[in-house]
Structure 1
Amino acid sequence: MVAPELLQIAQQARAAAQKLVTLDTLAKNQALAAITEALQTQQAAILQANQTDMERSEQEELPMALLQRLKLSPDKLASNIQGVRDVMNLPDPVGQRQLHRELDAGLILERVTCPLGVLGVIFEARPEAVIQITALALKSGNAVILKGGQEATHSCQVLVQAIHRGLQGTAIPPTAVQLLTTRAEIQQLLELDQYVNLLIPRGSNAFVRYIQDHSRIPVLGHADGLCHLYIDQQVDIPQAMALAVDSKTQYPAACNAIETLLVHQAIAPEFLPPCAAALVAQGVKLRGDEATQKIIPVAPASEADWGTEYLDLVLAIKIVDSLETAITHINTYGSGHTEAIATTDAQAAAQFVAQVDAAGVYHNCSTRFADGFRYGFGAEVGISTQRLPPRGPVGLEGLVTYKYRLWGNGQVVATYSGDQAKSFAHRDLPL
């Protein structure tokens, strides 16, 4: 049973979405500009609210990975405010004509992009998600209902208050951005299929699976970020070491950090000792299969390690006998998020990129590049590992659908049926 208060929130979001669909690019950008000003003005209050959340979470001894995601530093806040400006500068994804066809004289068919409607976004920690998702939702003409984790309650409340303050007096009503604050509201949100068009969960494997299993609303997201880096037998060792260190340690709590390092047996004796030393120097705890243990001193890896997303400074290492074995391992244990190969062999790189099944497949670069901001999307609402689009980091283009519009002048289908049927022209016109 949905509480009346939540039903009212959903109805307000739906009404705001109907207004958003009529707005032009200038009106949406003006609203985003007002949001950036409000966020800048409220920086001190936002950071203080986040400090309150951090102190409470540290007392509750939350996992380090969650604390890292929760912390909103001045630099991170400034980066996210800049992200809103970046979204402003992106092309408007709404109203783009994808098809323009004359079916017959005076009968013109168009396929035009349009907003999805109302997004329901549920996330753990990461209060900056409020900023990123709001910017992308509003620019793509969607209203949004946000539900942050309990650990980020104060941060989310102050952020949304600032956003509402910024939207006052703009063409976008503040009701286009709604915030839920209790766990009980999550289950009720999953029942709002009449009002919410897409759910985007961001959190643990179990959390995302729960959302997928308990709602009739379409769900976009990924349950795991189990990423790999494969070191091929032909490789620039210093470069590969740098990729391994960055992919694991630059931000180990991120879903695009590697959890398993695969190394070709031909290069392992030369590569592993210096690479292991570099990783250990950054605080990484290594686990390895039997072959790895014969080369470097590491704790033994179990079968469970190949399927574990650590989100921490822990890395499993496995030695493989071929590129094909590495690809098979990745396609067996990987989550379809982001996978990378380090190699100087162009043919091996091409085979890896073609055969590895993941939303992102990289050659000679860190898996940490899997990010909407780094892709030039301004920000992202999340990363999708499903095969149907949108896939990978989801920005503006992933938040629109399309409709067919047919412009006529009294035509009826009977004219094009029967023995004397008139033929269609089916002539494509300029977009």
Structure 2
Amino acid sequence: MTESPLVQRVKEVHAQARLLATLNASARNEALEQVACALEDAREEILAANAADCEQAKANNLNPSLYARLELSSSKLAAAIAGVRQVAALPDPLGQRQLHRELDAGLILSRVTCPLGVLGVIFEARPDAVVQIASLAIKSGNGAILKGGQEARCSCQAIVHAIHRGLEKSAVPAGAIALLTDRAEVVELLALDQWVDLIIPRGTNEFVRYIQNNTRIPVLGHADGLCHLYVDRAADIEKAIAITLDAKTQYPAACNAIETLLVHQGIAKEFLPKVAAVLENAGVELRGDALAREWVSMTPATDADWATEYCDLILSVRVVPSLEAALEHIATYGSGHTEAIVTEDAAAAARFLQEVDAAGVFHNCSTRFADGFRYGFGAEVGISTHKLPPRGPVGLEGLVTYKYQLVGNGHIVATYSGANAKPFTHRDLGCQ
């Protein structure tokens, strides 16, 4: 049976990824520097391609939140390129010995980190994701198959062309990074569990859920980014206003922007009119419960609002009688992404940090800090809300696995079985 062009391409990435996995850290880091240089050289080409995508997106009336992710400014591109160099400067994630144990004299067990293999990354808009994921894949010794949305087609092609030009000047095979451009290829890609080791979707919750429901390949990501900010009775008002404004308006289309503001009733009378004035001046539409509307005129919130990820300048507001009520609201509606409390009460903060079940739980800072670049990961492939690791922003550590290596000298299990079984020493040797 003749293989489809997609299967052939995926198998080629798989083969090139095996070669990439054998390269040392210096070779991979040099490849990243060549990629960064190539992206800088292609800056005008990439921005022009993105401008064409944006023009077409406007003509097609693309959703505003998707458009915000699609648009690639000069500063956004520069930050992505800086991220490539940050990834290169990170410690090598491969070949790290996590366990070193003598089972018996001459029988030594090691657990050593190694690449996953091939990553399948499917995303809507977000052309800068191509740069982030390709750099993390190269550093971690993984091949990557990238599929951007049709709305970002020109941008993705320009970026990948630049990446390939950079890799051609290095020891890393350019074929380890591939771009898919046909929407129909996604369904076929999701069925290739023999050749693809991890799927990473980035996009709307409907998009991510579709991926999760249509593949046997492990999926890393999150479907919802419904984040809350709780302003406690003991909050510093000015601090709370600044954090609320940043968490909602700094980049409202991001998955780590807040969608609901919870306010303790003991501070609502003083805080709500002040924060509402600042938010409304920034163009935010407020939707509040009955108690919130006692202090500020706003659209009545419905039950659906508490469960909605707006990705827009819309914010639900609820007044709660206690920290316990805030915790209960978050437990009911939170997506496990990022939750934050503003308070000067150390006991309240400690309880919030302890009891909230989310990948990120913050005290007195904006939820927008939930980001691999800001965490010092250099870049991220996405944010995972799974409870099993990796969780939160996923950088290099989420793209490696490990193998157990056992070295002996003719040892056999029979020696350690039966009535005269020899005991194991199980002596830890240290990982240095």
- What range describes the TM-score normalised by the shorter chain of this pair? over 0.9
User: Once the two structures are superposed, what CA deviation does each residue of 1:130-174 show, in whole Å capped at 9, x if it has no partner?
Assistant: 000000011001000000000000000010000011111311111
What SS class does the counterpart of residue 374 from structure 1 fall into?
A: coil
Cα RMSD after superposing both structures: 0.9
Q: Partner letter of residue 198 of structure 2? A: L
Stretches of structure 1 that go unaligned for 5 or more consecutive residues are: none
Output the CA distance in 1 between the equivalents of 2:131 and 2:404.
32
Output the CA distance in 2 between the equivalents of 1:409 and 1:288.
71
Q: Which residue of 2 aligns with 1:261?
A: 261
Q: Partner letter of residue 207 of structure 2? A: F
Taking structure 2 as the reference length, the TM-score comes to 0.99
Q: Which residue of 1 aligns with 2:87?
A: 87
Output the CA distance in 1 between the equivalents of 2:63 and 2:193.
33
Equivalent residues of 1:102, 1:109 under 8 A apart = yes
Q: Which residue of 1 aligns with 2:210?
A: 210
User: How do 1:142-181 and structure 2 match up within 5 A?
Assistant: 142-181=142-181
**CA shift at 1:20, angstroms?**
1.4
What SS class does the counterpart of residue 120 from structure 2 fall into?
A: strand
Output the CA distance in 2 between the equivalents of 1:181 and 1:414.
56
Output the CA distance in 2 between the equivalents of 1:163 and 1:114.
23
User: Once the two structures are superposed, what CA deviation does each residue of 1:51-77 show, in whole Å capped at 9, x if it has no partner?
Assistant: 000000000011111111000001110
Output the CA distance in 2 between the equivalents of 1:328 and 1:16.
49
Q: Which residue of 1 aligns with 2:395?
A: 395
Q: Which residue of 2 aligns with 1:249?
A: 249
What SS class does the counterpart of residue 215 from structure 1 fall into?
A: coil
Aligned-pair identity in percent equals 64
Q: Which residue of 2 aligns with 1:110?
A: 110
Q: Which residue of 1 aligns with 2:369?
A: 369
Q: Which residue of 1 aligns with 2:277?
A: 277
What SS class does the counterpart of residue 294 from structure 1 fall into?
A: helix
Output the CA distance in 1 between the equivalents of 2:412 and 2:63.
65
Q: Partner letter of residue 311 of structure 2? A: L
**CA shift at 1:3, angstroms?**
6.0
Q: Which residue of 2 aligns with 1:39?
A: 39
Q: Partner letter of residue 96 of structure 1? A: Q
Taking structure 1 as the reference length, the TM-score comes to 0.99
Output the CA distance in 2 between the equivalents of 1:331 and 1:126.
30
User: Once the two structures are superposed, what CA deviation does each residue of 1:297-328 show, in whole Å capped at 9, x if it has no partner?
Assistant: 00000000000000000000000011011011
Output the CA distance in 2 between the equivalents of 1:214 and 1:83.
32
Q: Which residue of 1 aligns with 2:352?
A: 352
Output the CA distance in 1 between the equivalents of 2:192 and 2:166.
28
Q: Which residue of 2 aligns with 1:5?
A: 5
Equivalent residues of 2:34, 2:169 under 8 A apart = no
**CA shift at 1:4, angstroms?**
1.4
Equivalent residues of 1:2, 1:188 under 8 A apart = no
Output the CA distance in 1 between the equivalents of 2:298 and 2:80.
39
User: Once the two structures are superposed, what CA deviation does each residue of 1:326-377 show, in whole Å capped at 9, x if it has no partner?
Assistant: 0110011010000000000000001001111100000000000000000000
**CA shift at 1:430, angstroms?**
2.1
Which moved further from structure 2: 15-24 or 40-49?
Answer: 15-24
Stretches of structure 2 that go unaligned for 5 or more consecutive residues are: none
Q: Partner letter of residue 385 of structure 1? A: T
